[in-house]
Amino acid sequence: MNEYIAYCGLNCETCEARIATVNHDDALRRQVAKEWSELNGVEITPEMIHCVGCRIDGPKTPYCESLCPIRPCAMKKHIQTCGSCAEMGTCEKLAVIIGNNPDAIRNLKG
């Protein structure tokens, strides 16, 4: 499986936080921080927009590193993605992601 597919099925390659990180794009970091702050109703600073991907060694955004409930669950189960988890179809944590992103479920099943 593509190493940029996150445990939840989102594609980290298309994530603006990762794009800003790998391209050292501070303007994009500021833009993403502003958008994510408004979307989530919390303050997200440009310094928090520093991530190389969910399953890639290296920095993560604060959400991906310590707030996401999916990543630690998959890591504890030692699975490549939630696509190989027997509970995928009934997982409430994963339902939030795949319910809002049809590409994520396709990535997990693909």
Q: Residue 56 has what pLDDT?
A: 95
- Token duo for residue 101: 């992103």
Per-residue 3-state assignment (H helix, E strand, C coil) for the chain = CCCCECCCCCEHHHCHHHHHHHCCCHHHHHHHHHHHHHHHCCCCCHHHCCCCCCCCCCCCCHHHHHHCCHHHHHHHHCCCCHHHCCCHHHCHHHHHHHHHCHHHHHHHHC
Residues 79-93 have a mean pLDDT of 95
Q: Residue 107 has what pLDDT?
A: 95
Q: Residue 100 has what pLDDT?
A: 85
State pTM to two decimals: 0.89
> pLDDT tens digit string along 27-70?
999 999 999 999 999 999 999 999 999 999 999 999 999 999 99
